[in-house]
Structure 1
Amino acid sequence: MLYALILAGGKGTRLYPLSRSNNPKQFLKVVNNKSFLRNTVDRVKPIISKENIYIVTNEEYLDKIQQELPEINKENIFAEPANKETATCIGLSAVKLLKKDKDAVMIVLPSDHFIEGEKEFLDTLEQAVEIAEKRRGLVTIGVNPIWPETGYGYIEMGQRINMGIATFRVDRFTEKPNVEVAKDFLLKGTYLWNSGMFVWRADVFLREMEKYLPKMYKSLMQIYQSLGDENESEVIREQYNIIDGISVDFGIMQKTRKAYVIKSEFLWDDIGSFSALKRFLKNFRGNSVSDNVFLEQSENCSVFSKDSLIIGFGIKDLIIVDAGDVLLIMDKTKDQEVKHLFNELKEDSKLLKFL
């Protein structure tokens, strides 16, 4: 049977201070009047019943997710005791779904993407499911790069296979490159952005984990054996203390020989930085602005206001974010470093109340 697994445990620190520890990016209503998480759930409902939609998140967001998604059964929300990267949370979810259904096929979706072109998106997922079932492949969805983005990973397309939507074997995954390498990828024309969306059978994914992440696989099998027992939560916590977290890209997708990529035909954005978010703001005299912003003799700035009026006079190449209790002002070239800045702020106990 087909299941959606939505990853909703991240902190979204690259969008700090809009994204906060108690209200991370997946809960923000930035693009329309619905949160990223709500949009993600609604997007898959035409092909997956609500009973088969699952969320994996951090324990601290359980109540918030239940408020945001009241139609999703509490049992369909998998809670991690700690954040141990995507291979771990997907692996935990895979063993739980496999316990329920030995033929489970998982559509794995981040909870914080913007997608336009619902029919094309659903068509792509249905083709990915076919590859996962018939070829026992690990399928990812790639996006045609439009500019030399350094904030995304890249996928090099290999041999094309005979499918309706352009589909290829994966030659290699490359993590976030510098701008010169990204420009080369763009010119070469054989690379796609890595969207972080995946489709596979739970059993196939776990067999690849056994091959490439044997220690993690062993821990997950301990969890599998405890599922449904009264000590399930205790075993999960014990094994999470043992597990060394790693991303699914680093841990499995870069190594497996079963990887396929479908070249998407829908509009996609992960809105993982202020440079991405500015594409959804209004243009004002060559700047990108939210409401309550007035700029004079200013250029190439991105300004986000919550309640206050922000006036810029004679400024250039700045990102300004007013989140009420925190004001961020930075050079536009630094937007990929906000996560590092956030981690530095955590070291000062006096500033924790602002995180």
Structure 2
Amino acid sequence: MLYALILAGGKGTRLYPLSRSNNPKQFLKTVNNKSFLRNTVDRITPIIDKDNIFVVTNKEYIDKVYEELPEIKEENVFIEPENKETATCIGLSAVKLLKRDKEAVMVVLPSDHYIEGEKQFNQTIIQAIEVAERKRGLVTIGVMPTRPETGYGYIQMGNQISGDIPTFKVERFTEKPNLEVAKDFLMEGTYLWNSGMFVWRADIYLREMQRYLPKMHECINRIYQSIGEENEQEVTNAQYDLIDGISVDFGIMQKTRKAYVIKCEFVWDDIGSFNALTRFLKSNRGNNISGPSFLNDSENCSVFGNDKLIIGFGLKDLVIVDAGDVILVMDKSKDQEMKSLLNEIKEDEELKGFL
């Protein structure tokens, strides 16, 4: 049977201070009047019944998940004891689904994507499901690059296989290249952006985890054996303490020989940074703005206003964010470095309350 797994436990640090520890980006309503999480669930509902839609998150966000998704049953929310990256949370979810259904097929969706073209999205997911079943492989969705993006991973397309939508054996994964390499990938034309959406059978995913992340698999398997027992939570907590977290891209997708990629035909954007979010702001005299602002003799700036008037004079290549209690002024080139900056702020006892 088909199941959707929505990944909703991230901190969204690159969108700080709009995304905060108590209200991360999956709950923000920045592009339309619905949160990213709500949009993600609505998008997959035409394919997968709401009773088979699951969310994996951490205990900090349980109430917010229920608030955003009142139709989702309590047992359909998987709770991680702590954040141990995507390979782990997907593994935890895989064993929980496998306990319910030995034939479970998982459609894994991040909760922070912008997508246009519902019909094409549905067709792509349906084909990914078919490929995952037929090839017993790990299927991902790739996006044709439109710019030399350094914030995304890349997938090199190998031999094409049958399918109405172009589908390829994965030649290799490359994580977030530098600008020169990204330009080369764009020119070469055989690379796709890694969207972070995946489709696979739960048992096949766990088989590949056993092959490439054997220590993690041992821990996840112990959790599997405890599901439904009185000590399930105790075992889960103990095993999570032993896991060295890693992303599914680094841990499995870069190593597996069973990866396939479908080149999507819908519009996709990962709203994971201010440079990405800028694409949804209105253009104003060479800048992009939202909220009350006035920029003079300024170019290529992005302003995210709130209730204060933001005035810029003689500025270039800046991101300015008013989040009420926090004002961010950042060079656009630092867009991918927010996480390390926040780690420094955490060390300051007087400032950590603003996170």
Report the TM range for the smaller structure's normalisation: over 0.9
Output the amino acid matched with 2:134: K
CA distance in 2, matches of 1:317, 1:248: 33
CA distance in 2, matches of 1:324, 1:82: 29
Following superposition, the deviation at residue 307 of structure 1 comes to: 1.5
Deviations 1:175-218 (A, max 9, x none): 00000000000000000000000000000111111111111111
Output the amino acid matched with 1:290: S
Output the amino acid matched with 2:185: F
CA distance in 1, matches of 2:269, 2:349: 35
TM-score of the superposed pair, with normalisation by structure 2: 0.99
Q: Which runs of 5+ in 1 are unaligned?
A: none
Following superposition, the deviation at residue 248 of structure 1 comes to: 0.5
Match of 2:246 in 1: 246
Match of 1:109 in 2: 109
Match of 1:289 in 2: 289
Local SS of the residue matching 1:244 = coil
Match of 2:191 in 1: 191
Question: 309-318 or 221-230, which moves further after superposition?
Answer: 309-318
1:1-355 equivalences under 5 Å are: 1-355=1-355
Following superposition, the deviation at residue 343 of structure 1 comes to: 1.1
Q: How much is the aligned-residue C-alpha RMSD, in angstroms?
A: 0.6
Deviations 1:218-250 (A, max 9, x none): 111110111011111110000000011111111
Instruction: Give the number of aligned pairs.
Output: 355
CA distance in 2, matches of 1:138, 1:336: 28
Deviations 1:38-85 (A, max 9, x none): 000000000111100000001111111111111000100000011000
Local SS of the residue matching 2:156 = strand
TM-score of the superposed pair, with normalisation by structure 1: 0.99
Output the amino acid matched with 2:233: S
Following superposition, the deviation at residue 315 of structure 1 comes to: 1.3
Local SS of the residue matching 1:349 = coil
CA distance in 1, matches of 2:136, 2:88: 21
Output the amino acid matched with 1:169: K
Structure 1 residue runs of 4+, over 6 Å off? none
Output the amino acid matched with 1:24: P
Output the amino acid matched with 1:130: E
Output the amino acid matched with 1:124: T
Q: Which runs of 5+ in 2 are unaligned?
A: none
Following superposition, the deviation at residue 316 of structure 1 comes to: 1.4
CA distance in 2, matches of 1:331, 1:109: 31
Deviations 1:263-291 (A, max 9, x none): 00000001111111000000000100002
CA distance in 2, matches of 1:293, 1:76: 43
Deviations 1:289-321 (A, max 9, x none): 002111112111000012111111221111101
CA distance in 1, matches of 2:303, 2:113: 21
CA distance in 2, matches of 1:349, 1:69: 35
CA distance in 2, matches of 1:177, 1:217: 29
